[in-house]
Amino acid sequence: MIPIWHVSSSVSALPTLHRIDIGPSTRLGWLLAASHGLALVAASLSWLPWVARAGIGCLILASAVHTLRSQAWRSSRQAVVSAERGSDGMWRLIFRDGSRGDPTHLRWAYVQTWGVILGFRRRSLLIMEDAVGDEALRRLTVALRLDPPGNRASSEPRS
């Protein structure tokens, strides 16, 4: 039996079996800030002309703002704030602006003690432990181990 994280009271076409609410992640924020900072250092130490280095630096800063807002802080309109798994194995992502993504199959999952990465067709969702809490992450990892994405019941038909 797969444990229930949160029974959704919302009415939708997809019957909800599990729902996990995702909040901001301080750890992911520091990781993203550090990686973008290292990219800035690498760009500034390159042999490119200063104009090219400045342009690359601006792109790195824009990437940092975008990824921090959408992934770590979850403050942008299109940031994923919840993931629901229906009884049919389909997943639906819920965004900050209230919109819901189309039901999709989970193609792969990477499970570690620090978090989980869920791979869908057009996006990957990184869920860190500090964004959902210990218990919710444990339930998610148990559910993924009991019904892995490559399972016959949860995989989409090949065409």
The pLDDT of residue 77? 94
Distance CA 142, CA 148 (A): 10
Tokens of 64: 């940092």
The pLDDT of residue 15? 59
Other C-beta atoms closer than 10 Å to the C-beta of 137 total 23
The pLDDT of residue 24? 97
Residue 2 in contact with residue 86, Cβ under 8 Å? no
The pLDDT of residue 16? 64
The pLDDT of residue 79? 95
Task: DSSP letter for 4, please.
Answer: P
Residues 6+ apart with CB under 8 A from 2: 17, 18, 142, 143, 146, 147
Global pTM value: 0.78
Residue 58 in contact with residue 43, Cβ under 8 Å? no
Distance CA 20, CA 111 (A): 15
- The H-assigned helical ranges of the chain are 26-44, 50-67, 129-132, 134-146
Paired strand residues for 94? 82, 100
- Provide the residue-wise pLDDT of the chain in tens; the chain has 159 residues: 333 344 344 444 445 678 999 999 999 999 999 999 999 999 999 999 999 999 999 999 999 999 999 999 999 999 999 999 988 889 999 999 999 999 999 999 999 999 999 999 989 999 999 999 999 999 999 989 888 887 645 444 444
The pLDDT of residue 159? 44
Residue with tokens 């990957």: 124
In degrees and rounded to multiples of 5, residue 71 shows phi and psi of -100, -45
